[in-house]
Amino acid sequence: MEKQVWKPGAMLNPVPVVMVSCGSISQKTNIITIGWTGTICTIPPMLSISVRKSRFSHALIKDSGKFVVNLVSQPLVRAADWCGVKSGRDFDKFAEMGLTAVKAVTSNCPVIDESPVNIECTVSQIIELGSHDLFIANIDSVSVSQDLIDSSTGAMDLKKANLAAYCHGEYMALGSQIGKFGFSVRKKKKGN
Amino acid sequence: MEKQVWKPGAMLNPVPVVMVSCGSISQKTNIITIGWTGTICTIPPMLSISVRKSRFSHALIKDSGKFVVNLVSQPLVRAADWCGVKSGRDFDKFAEMGLTAVKAVTSNCPVIDESPVNIECTVSQIIELGSHDLFIANIDSVSVSQDLIDSSTGAMDLKKANLAAYCHGEYMALGSQIGKFGFSVRKKKKGN
């Protein structure tokens, strides 16, 4: 395949797009939209977010050691984009976007009620990398919308959440399912 | 919104799904499929991958300090799934999947030629977290398929790559574009 060699850049795609809520439900709250995030460990469950020092949320998260990763459904993409562009120094982002701040299960951090999945986290380590600081965090609790759960089986169908992804500057809907993990080695069922 | 509180778990979704190639083009090569990856810094450009110590690729990456993140287009999803399930101790994954190993621009690491975008990396730090070790890496070079680049403008259209995402155990195609970064604050053009 013919390729062009480019200078180094952040070209991993697609990445998640999440709204990180932080601060304290009884004092200042804020929301920062983040694409530089990822799961980093299964046991214990851990994730990371990368935040510029200049961002208003940086100090809020550093001071409390707590934040919540709120997954972004398609109806929340406009709010996510706005929260990624505007600063919490100038706006009450919950109020401006008509979002509801609910107290987290495990801390005084605000959770975005309208998000279908809230992942509550505690910072364990902050690593200075350059433009961004890497916040390494343990996952303390996960809250899942009842709408995603089959009431008879208890199984969750995350496709019902219509989550968005971020790909090279664009918010994208998820499309069709290509296969489940392990499909390449699964034996086909006999008959029909 | 009514929510169920779950125990902590890796619930960040969707996440990237990438094929990480490693080893040396002139000796042993391998491919490991990874969803626990993310961009962690813009300047300098950096990303992380998380790998279990038991994985064959763990030692290859640790020893050489080099790996390549190969983005996964939809036609590569079956190979990605297979490379995530099988071990390089038992198979030559390039040969088994009919993939072409090409030497990286900046190291002796193999690159998957069939992948539309190859991101060459050097490990700067390894952090033991639990089930997974976090490999923090600098991005050294990016190679992009000529097919994604408009020959007259030089602009890249990553949508042409038909990249896949990973969401709660399922490989998903990317669907329609919801909006570009900043769309929530962009002024509408006057007239039509």
Answer whether B10's CB lies under 8 Å from A38's CB: no
Residue B158 and residue A168: Cβ atoms within 8 Å? yes
Answer whether B141's CB lies under 8 Å from B106's CB: yes
Write down the ipTM of this complex: 0.95
Residue A141 and residue B8: Cβ atoms within 8 Å? yes
CA distance B181 to B120: 26
Q: How many angstroms separate the Cα of B106 from the Cα of each of A14, B68, B118, B123, B140?
A: 24, 10, 12, 13, 7
Task: Give contacts of A180 with chain B, Cβ < 8 Å.
Answer: 169-171
Residue B41 and residue A38: Cβ atoms within 8 Å? no
What is the residue type of B11?
Answer: M
Helix (H) or strand (E) holding B79: helix B77-85
CA distance A109 to B125: 31
Answer whether B82's CB lies under 8 Å from B138's CB: no
* DSSP 8-state symbol, A131: S
CA distance A115 to A118: 7
pLDDT tens for chain B, residues 1 to 192: 899 999 999 999 999 999 999 999 999 999 999 999 999 999 999 999 999 999 999 999 999 999 999 999 999 999 999 999 999 999 999 999 999 999 999 999 999 999 999 999 999 999 999 999 999 999 999 999 999 999 899 899 999 999 999 999 999 999 999 999 999 999 766 654
Q: Does A3 score more than 80 pLDDT? A: yes
Q: What is the pTM of this model?
A: 0.96
CA distance A138 to A141: 9
Q: Residue B187: its pLDDT value, please?
A: 76
User: Among positive and negative, which fits the CA dihedral A82, A86, A87, A93?
Assistant: negative
- The rounded mean pLDDT for chain A is 96
- Percentage of chain A surpassing pLDDT 90? 95
Tokens of B109: 């690491």
Mutate to test the interface with B, among A2, A78, A129 (most CBs of B within 10 A): A129
